[in-house]
Amino acid sequence: MGSGRGSSGPSLSLKTSNKLKRKQLYVQQKKATGKARHEERHRRRKEEAKDPELRRKRLEQNQPLTLDKKRIWDDVDDDSLGTVVDVAQLKLRRLQEAEAASAAEEDAVMEEAVEKDDDVDSMLGSDDDGNEDQDEEERRAKAQRERAQRQPSIAPSTVSTNLDITPDSLASQFRYLFSDEPPVMPKILVTTGLNGTIHKEAQEIASVFPNGRLATYIPRSAHRYGHKYSVREIAKFAKNRAYTALLVVHEDQKRPSQLSICHLNGEDAPPGPTLTYTIRNYQPGKVIPGHGNATNHYPELLLNGFKTPLGLLAAKSMNTLFPPKPELQGRQVLTLHNQRDYIFFRRHRYVFREARPTEKNVVGADGKEMEGVKGIRAGLQEIGPRMTLKLRRVDKGIGRAGSEGEDALKWEWKAKMEKKRTRFNL
């Protein structure tokens, strides 16, 4: 049969102008490729069953290349606010350099001691020289083994945020937030913007802390003759009544659009800092399918993915809003997961139950069943609210208007920061 007009194409379906023949050739080609793929998988499965190391190597190489894995860092030895550096890796590198310097000093002192011993014992018999050289080699080998057995890494192996590695420069800049004193029980005042209408949403946000024990919601009057209190006046009112933080929920088209968290600190300490977030994709708990009802227990807090100095500041700010000792009998957990500078806010209730006969046991990364969790399953039920936060500004005092001095604005998001899609601030 002639090739026709489509003969220049590389596909089999274009080598004939007959529609039925093209369809038949396409079906044959698809069956052939599917059969070859199936035979390749079957052959690989048999080989990996004989040698599990082949499967482990294949899974290590078969990793998707995402934007998170392409993330770039600033190549500087600086841990100030605004620099995009991994604080854990920076501290690890500094520890390694300090250990290398101390090891070099130990080696220099040891060599000097050996030279002095050689000068003193130079008139002794040559029979002892071989023994001394052997002892010296053993001492050096022992010192090298000890240095090799050290564990300098202090970074956690999971995505959880470790607030213990906070840089000294960040702690000195926000000394009231990163205080060495034991954390106090938080007491939070939640309110809305001027002429606020989202009272139900603000009450639901206040219930996260939980409402009645840690947080109090006071609506701002929208009456035309009502006094329009400023945020600074509200902060002064709250601080005089032993509140530790002020949350202001702003709205746009009767939906939450912005959240400002102002830390009031102690009696003698000035208020600040204030972290301003934008709110996206807000969903109240009642619209979430299969949602649960919250109880009045202190929740557990999970902070994931905060790595830079700015990220640790945001994580510490959220950490101070919750009590240091959660009530585990409530089985409630609040997760703040940072990914690509977006903080996903989720609240769940969990329960441990026995595995059903049809459910398989938990398998680890090596493909083997994990010990200690056989026959146990964890069930999750989302409580809400659900939203996505993005940090926009960090002010020294009570917002932009209440901050004074040259360093009033500590950090601010700008559009040019997203010119590189692989560079993130948190």
Check pLDDT > 90 for residue 12.
no
pLDDT digits (tens, 9 = 90+) for 219-242: 887 777 778 888 899 999 999 998
Check pLDDT > 60 for residue 386.
yes
Lowest mean pLDDT among 80-84, 144-148, 363-367, 417-421: 144-148
Residue 150 pLDDT grade (very low, low, confident, very high; cuts 50, 70, 90): very low
Lowest mean pLDDT among 135-149, 242-256, 320-334: 135-149
Tokens of 206: 């206040």
pLDDT at position 149, please? 42
**Residue 63 contacts residue 415 (beta carbons within 8 Å):** no
Beta pairing partners, 281: none
Check pLDDT > 70 for residue 119.
no
pLDDT at position 151, please? 41
pLDDT at position 134, please? 65
CB atoms within 10 A of CB 319: 18
Q: What percent of the chain has pLDDT over 70?
A: 85
Mean pLDDT, rounded, for 105-120: 71
Give the torsion sign (CA, 252, 257, 262, 263).
positive
pLDDT digits (tens, 9 = 90+) for 282-295: 999 999 998 988 88
pLDDT digits (tens, 9 = 90+) for 36-70: 999 999 999 999 999 989 988 888 888 888 888 88
**Residue 20 contacts residue 33 (beta carbons within 8 Å):** no
pLDDT at position 70, please? 87
Check pLDDT > 70 for residue 426.
yes
Check pLDDT > 50 for residue 3.
no
Mean pLDDT, rounded, for 376-392: 90
Tokens of 415: 């559009």
**DSSP tag of 271:** P
pLDDT at position 261, please? 94
pLDDT digits (tens, 9 = 90+) for 312-335: 999 999 999 998 888 888 899 999
Label each residue of 124-153 as H, E or C. CCCHHHHHHHHHHHHHHHHHHHHHHCCCCC
Check pLDDT > 70 for residue 144.
no
Mean pLDDT, rounded, for 366-376: 75
For 63-122, strand residue ranges (E) read: none
Residue with tokens 């274009």: 14
pLDDT at position 113, please? 72
Check pLDDT > 80 for residue 153.
no
Mean pLDDT for the chain overall: 83
pLDDT at position 7, please? 45
Mean pLDDT, rounded, for 342-351: 93
pTM: 0.77
pLDDT at position 117, please? 63
Lowest mean pLDDT among 137-141, 274-278, 412-416: 137-141
Give me the long-range contacts of 109-112 (CB less than 8 A, separation at least 24): 110/139, 110/140, 110/143
Beta pairing partners, 191: 248
pLDDT at position 296, please? 87
pLDDT at position 120, please? 53
Mean pLDDT, rounded, for 346-354: 89
**Residue 317 contacts residue 234 (beta carbons within 8 Å):** no
CA distances from 142 to 97, 138, 139, 151 (A): 21, 6, 5, 17
